[in-house]
């Protein structure tokens, strides 16, 4: 059976997996992302691929979903959350491994997975949003990606009289910024959700602000792109038991859903993209 090596590149972690044609994950590994250096980034990608051993696994291709802008030829203009730009990932990997290499935006490939085989598989249209180190999103209509919302996490939103890129105040890292604006410091984002779960009064006002920001964001997506469903994934969704019901109550006219593939949406989506190209 044909398989591919799929990479889900994030600002916090990089996951790599061997995935077969039935979208089964045969093997998966993860490493913390090295940031700030193209050379270190490329070496880390290769170390993950080497560990999966494309020759032994007889992989037909390598595919990467990345959190940034990707040109038609697979050249990456920038990976803002990894603090590098102008990355020749496709050309570098093809020269090194002699296999077809495909590179695409991570939110787009995850959106494809959820539309084809996940939460939106029985619907005409769906919009996928990942809330992690940053925020990304993509629209799928009739199982085809629509290039209508590239890097939506960089949309400007108002807060306390200033304008911020949405992901800077609403993503996992953005929550820390939101707290900082309000004079509160935490070491890790998960502590915010622990405090909210404990109903700590110091944090509840910021929690309300964060929910209001998310609600406005999803209303914007609903009004602009008219998807039947908005599918959510990403690291912040690990804490969804704390906030998901409160968020849905704020926007009862917007259908929200957890991603069927949860944290694997990026990997499965990358594999879907590769198999569609082979």
Structure confidence by residue, pLDDT tens digits, 130-186: 999 899 899 999 999 886 555 799 999 999 999 999 999 999 999 999 999 999 999
> Is residue 112 assigned to a domain?
no
Residue-level pLDDT at 151: 75
75 and 206 both lie in a single domain: no
Q: What is the CATH number of the domain that holds 244?
A: 3.30.420.40
Contact (CB, 8 A) for 102 and 271: no
Q: Which of 45, 39, 51 lies closest to 65, judged by CA?
A: 45
Do both 216 and 91 map to the same domain?
A: no
Nearest alpha carbon to residue 241 among 190, 187, 175:
190
245 pLDDT more than 70: yes
DSSP 93-107: HHHHH-S-EEEEEHH
Q: Residue 262 has what pLDDT?
A: 87
CA–CA dist 23, 9 (Å, integer): 18
What is the reported pLDDT for 165?
96
Confidence of residue 222 (pLDDT cuts 50, 70, 90): very high
For residue 263, the model assigns a pLDDT of 84
- The Cα 98–Cα 82 span in angstroms is 26
66 in Cβ contact with 79 (< 8 Å): yes
Mean pLDDT of 208-214: 98
pLDDT at 150: 58
Q: What is the pLDDT of residue 149?
A: 54
Residue 243 has pLDDT above 80, yes or no: yes
Q: What's the sign of the alpha-carbon dihedral 92, 152, 226, 250?
A: positive
Same domain (yes/no): 22, 62:
yes
- Shared domain check, 99 and 141: no
Same domain, 147 and 61: no
Same-domain status, 236 and 162: yes
* Residue 20 CB burial class (10 angstroms; 0-12, 13-18, ≥19): middle
Cα separation, 55 vs 18, in Å, equals 12
Query: For the chain, how many structural domains are there in total?
Result: 2
Residue 113 lies in a domain: no
Same domain, 101 and 60: yes
pLDDT at 22: 93
Q: Which of 175, 205, 170, 202 is nearest to 187 (CA)?
A: 175
Range of the domain at 211: 119-259
In a domain, 156, yes or no: yes
Average pLDDT, the chain: 94
Q: How far apart are CA 114 and CA 140, in angstroms?
A: 9
Query: Per the structure block, which two tokens stand in for 205?
Result: 């006002």
Residue 251 lies in a domain: yes
In this prediction, residue 88 carries a pLDDT of: 97
* SS3 assignment, position 253: coil
Whether 243 maps to a domain, the answer reads: yes
**Percent with pLDDT over 90 in the chain:** 85
User: Do 2 and 57 meet the contact criterion of CB atoms below 8 Å apart?
Assistant: no
User: Are both 81 and 148 inside the same structural domain?
Assistant: no
pLDDT of res. 4:
97
Do residues 124 and 248 both lie within one domain?
Answer: yes
* Contact criterion met (CB below 8 Å) for 207 and 233: no
Total length of the chain: 278
Residues 222 and 199 in one domain: yes
**Is the confidence at residue 112, as pLDDT, over 70?**
yes
Q: Is residue 273 part of a domain?
A: yes
User: What would the mean pLDDT of 263-273 be, rounded to a whole number?
Assistant: 92
Helix 172-181, helix 189-197: angle, nearest 10: 70
- Asked whether residue 66 falls in the same domain as residue 133, the answer is no
Tell me if residue 268 falls in helix, strand or coil: helix
Per-residue model confidence as pLDDT tens digits over 53-110: 988 889 999 999 999 889 989 999 999 889 999 999 999 999 999 999 999 998 899 9
Residue 30 domain flag: yes
β-strands 62-66, 101-105 pairing: parallel
Note whether 227 and 272 are same-domain residues: no
């Amino acid at each position: 059976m044909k398989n591919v090596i799929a990479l889900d590149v994030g600002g916090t972690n990089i996951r790599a997996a061997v995935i077969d044609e039935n979208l089964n994950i045969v093997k998966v590994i993860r490493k913390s992302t090295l940031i700030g250096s193209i050379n270190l980034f490329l070496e880390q990608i290769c170390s993950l691929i080497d560990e999966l051993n494309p020759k032994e696994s007889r992989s037909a291709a390598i595919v990467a979903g990345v959190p940034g802008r990707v040109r038609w030829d697979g050249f990456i203009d920038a990976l803002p959350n990894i603090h590098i730009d102008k990355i020749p990932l496709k050309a570098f990997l093809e020269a090194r491994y002699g296999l077809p290499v495909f590179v695409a935006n991570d939110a787009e490939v995850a959106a494809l997975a959820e539309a084809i085989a996940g939460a939106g598989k029985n619907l005409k249209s769906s919009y996928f949003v990942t809330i992690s180190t940053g925020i990304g999103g993509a629209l799928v209509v009739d199982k085809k990606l629509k290039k209508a919302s590239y890097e939506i996490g960089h949309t400007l939103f108002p807060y306390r009289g200033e304008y911020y890129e949405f992901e800077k105040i609403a993503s996992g890292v953005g929550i820390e910024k939101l707290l900082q604006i309000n004079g509160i410091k935490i070491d890790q984002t998960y502590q915010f959700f622990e405090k909210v779960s404990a109903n700590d009064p110091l944090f509840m006002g910021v929690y309300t602000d964060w929910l209001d920001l998310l609600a406005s964001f999803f209303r914007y997506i609903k009004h602009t792109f008219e998807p039947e469903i908005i599918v959510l994934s990403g690291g912040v969704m690990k804490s969804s038991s704390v906030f998901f019901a409160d968020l849905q109550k704020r926007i009862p006219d917007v259908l929200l859903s957890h991603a069927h593939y949860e944290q694997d949406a990026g990997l499965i989506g990358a594999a879907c993209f590769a198999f569609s190209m082979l």
